[in-house]
Structure 1
């Protein structure tokens, strides 16, 4: 059985996944709200947050497809730290989550099937643990940008899905620059255009 390793991110037309000045109190960065605001109205996203209602459309279907296919998640410590308070006791992952860190701490068991395991021995170890936990489902490299770049640079991501939001930010945190932003061949798998975003799915060559 081969596990598919994915990365799925919202991104602006000019390549930013967050605005400038990302901090624990400002996880989207200055002016970064349009990158994520479109997701918050979707029924599939609201279901994951334990809420009702929301819009059922193609965007919601694509998000639900990603949720349902994911059996484990890998993220960086910054993403965990910026999301911990917001997620609370019932995080939206519903799967094991492996957090890359150099600050060890005991595993955390939350409601809804989410567990956080803190991995101190690198990206390969975190991925192998995630693959074991995922079973026959995918492992998603959730972020942030530096974590995704590390896995891209190591050739460990099989599929990349970008939700390109029709906005220009002009500054902030870019996904495809700095260490790990190496040349890769991408095979287009799917393009879905909606008024909210253009959803681009690629398979990565090795």
Structure 2
């Protein structure tokens, strides 16, 4: 039986927004780039060999990470992640993109739920969604998320893209880990509660 997990990774403000007004993400930069967080996150991405991305994150990541990976003087966790992102399979979900030029990238030809069900059934390591709120919400609605990693940043945004909308059905989760960062953010790991789950 295949036990390939789907991990959804997202950073939220205290009031539950995944981005601020106009798509502003400046509120999370301090937390995301801190050495403690990059070390913690290395333990997450190193177990995955497939990344799922929406269009916005794909374009943003493609505009930044390949140059970090190609830096001959690069070192540290950020460089390691950049190299991993370059090499890993990247599946992009978009109705507007016509090409995915980043190496090892492809645009999904089928709907998100069908594509992910097939990926989960295939052999391989874990599958991870990197901060693409629309993708994660759709997968939560389809009950396809096995592990939910929420990085809670100490900011109240007041407006923006609210992560948990009314369309996400009720579900139960088990806390599997909590880490407090020196920047004041908290990383919470939840796994989907099943009949065999233990508290």
Q: Which has the higher contact order (CA 8 A, sep 6+)?
A: 2
**1:8 and 1:161 in contact (8 A); partners too:** yes
Determine the structure 2 residue equivalent to 1:141: 129
Q: Does 1:85 align with 2:63?
A: yes
Gaps of 5+ in 2: 70-80, 195-199
Determine the structure 2 residue equivalent to 1:154: 142
Determine the structure 2 residue equivalent to 1:74: 52
Instruction: Give 1:191 shift.
Output: 1.3
Determine the structure 1 residue equivalent to 2:20: 19
Determine the structure 2 residue equivalent to 1:101: 94
| Whole-Å separation in 1 of the counterparts to 2:65 and 2:39 | 22
**2:45 and 2:128 in contact (8 A); partners too:** no
Q: 1:134 to 1:171 in 2, by over 3 A?
A: farther
- Superposed, 1:1-206 pairs within 5 Å as 1-22=2-23, 29=24, 32-42=25-35, 57=36, 59-88=37-66, 90=69, 92=82, 93=85, 94-103=87-96, 105-106=98-99, 108=101, 110=103, 115-128=104-117, 130-131=119-120, 135=124, 137-179=125-167, 181-196=168-183, 197-205=185-193
Secondary structure, aligned partner of 1:72: strand
Instruction: Give 1:187 shift.
Output: 0.9
Give the root-mean-square deviation of aligned CA atoms: 2.4
Q: Could you tell me the TM-score, scaled by structure 1's length?
A: 0.75
Q: Could you tell me the TM-score, scaled by structure 2's length?
A: 0.78
Q: How many residues align?
A: 177
| Whole-Å separation in 2 of the counterparts to 1:126 and 1:105 | 18
Secondary structure, aligned partner of 1:60: helix
Instruction: Give 1:178 shift.
Output: 4.3
